[in-house]
Amino acid sequence: MKVIVADQAGVCFGVKRALDLVNAECERGGPLFTLGPLIHNPQVVRDLEAKGVRVARSISEAQRAVVMPSHGVPREVLQKAEAAGLRVIDATCPFVAKVHARVRHLAARGYTVVVVGDAGHSEVKAILSAAGDDAVVISTVDEVDGRDWRGTKVGIVSQTTQTPERFGRIVGRIAERAAEVVAYNTICYATYDRQTAARNLAPNVEAMFVVGGRNSANTNRLVEICREAGVPTYHIETADEIDPRWVSGMSVVGLTAGASTPEWIIEEVRSRLERFDPPASPG
């Protein structure tokens, strides 16, 4: 079986930075906690637990030192950690932190902040906290039509893992209705590069495998993009999930991975797929 790996796949700058921070803290010794999973990849989180890094569900469960995850946290969580006397290691991705700065600026200038993203996602919750009480989340174009935008000054940002197409459609629809619109495309370049590479690869293979946590927003976007290309697409977290029947009769498949997926998992998936025999040539 021939396996083509997308030009851009796997761990991004923000995730690598977060992992480097945590590994450096591990070398210092002592208890270390992350507030929720550091990144949205269960296998990496388990590896960190084996090094003694524990996942705290709340600030009250942490001791001495706590790491804020790469997707950011609401400001009140940071304040609570500081009030508890914890040493805070902020592993928030710089691109996410830039979105926080954008929405604070927009809110201070009197704009109603709109976050284009997945309501309930941890990154979006943190952005909303920075944006103030009047901020809203819009996930689809249809949701735009359900609000009255007349006379409103609207400032729009994106969750860093959204697609440019969705962001553009929502911005355009709001611009048709609001009195004034300021929009910042805050999709991170790593997300854009991975989406573009997947979109280019998918039409040229018989199936796509997307590797990454099922709770990873950017991985789920890659799955959507590959399926929109019309090829069978399989979202997996590890090589053990591959069903040989998925590739029966196929000669070439594509492989991509979310921004929290380490290289060793990608290589395990590639190796497993390459062991499947392609169909025999006629005659």
Is the separation of the CB atoms in 155 and 112 below 8 Å? Answer: yes
3-state secondary structure of 115: strand
Distance CA 178, CA 180 (A): 6
> 1 is written with which tokens?
């079986």
Q: Calculate the CA dihedral of residues 200, 205, 206, 212 and round it to 10 degrees.
A: -60
Tell me the C-alpha to C-alpha distance, in Å, between residue 167 and each of 53, 78, 159, 171.
36, 29, 9, 6
Distance CA 259, CA 277 (A): 30
Is-catalytic flag, 224?
Answer: no
3-state secondary structure of 235: strand
Give strand pairing partners of 87: 65
Share of the chain above pLDDT 90, in %: 92
- Confidence band for 17, pLDDT divided at 50, 70 and 90: very high
185-201 pLDDT, tens digit per residue, is 999 999 999 999 999 99
Q: Cβ contacts of residue 34 below 8 Å, gap of 6+?
A: 22, 48, 53, 54, 55, 56, 66, 67, 69
83-114 pLDDT, tens digit per residue, is 999 999 999 999 999 999 999 999 999 999 99
- Confidence band for 282, pLDDT divided at 50, 70 and 90: low
3-state secondary structure of 134: coil
Q: What is the mean pLDDT of residues 170-196?
A: 96
Q: What is the per-residue pLDDT for 9?
A: 96
Distance CA 157, CA 72 (A): 16
Give strand pairing partners of 60: none
- Confidence band for 238, pLDDT divided at 50, 70 and 90: very high
- Confidence band for 28, pLDDT divided at 50, 70 and 90: confident
Q: Cβ contacts of residue 49 below 8 Å, gap of 6+?
A: 55
Q: Calculate the CA dihedral of residues 134, 70, 259, 248 and round it to 10 degrees.
A: -90
Q: What is the per-residue pLDDT for 30?
A: 77
Q: What is the mean pLDDT of residues 196-224?
A: 96
Q: Calculate the CA dihedral of residues 212, 215, 218, 219 and round it to 10 degrees.
A: 30
Q: Calculate the CA dihedral of residues 36, 40, 42, 46 and round it to 10 degrees.
A: -50
Domains within the chain, CATH numbers bracketed: 2-10+189-274 (3.40.1010.20), 13-92 (3.40.50.11270), 95-183 (3.40.1010.20)
- Confidence band for 15, pLDDT divided at 50, 70 and 90: very high
> Which one has a higher pLDDT value, 153 or 146?
153
Catalytic residue among 49, 123, 267, 268: 123
260-272 pLDDT, tens digit per residue, is 999 999 999 999 9
Q: What is the per-residue pLDDT for 267?
A: 97
Q: Using alpha carbons only, what angle is made at residue 256 by residues 90 and 200, rounded to the nearest 5 degrees?
A: 115
Q: What is the mean pLDDT of residues 209-216?
A: 94
pLDDT over threshold 90, residue 54: yes
pLDDT over threshold 70, residue 281: no
User: What's the pTM?
Assistant: 0.85
Beta strand residue intervals within the chain, DSSP E: 2-5, 32-35, 53-56, 65-68, 87-90, 112-116, 136-138, 153-158, 180-183, 208-211, 233-236, 252-257
Q: What is the per-residue pLDDT for 279?
A: 74
Q: What is the mean pLDDT of residues 14-38?
A: 91
- Confidence band for 59, pLDDT divided at 50, 70 and 90: very high
Distance CA 157, CA 34 (A): 27
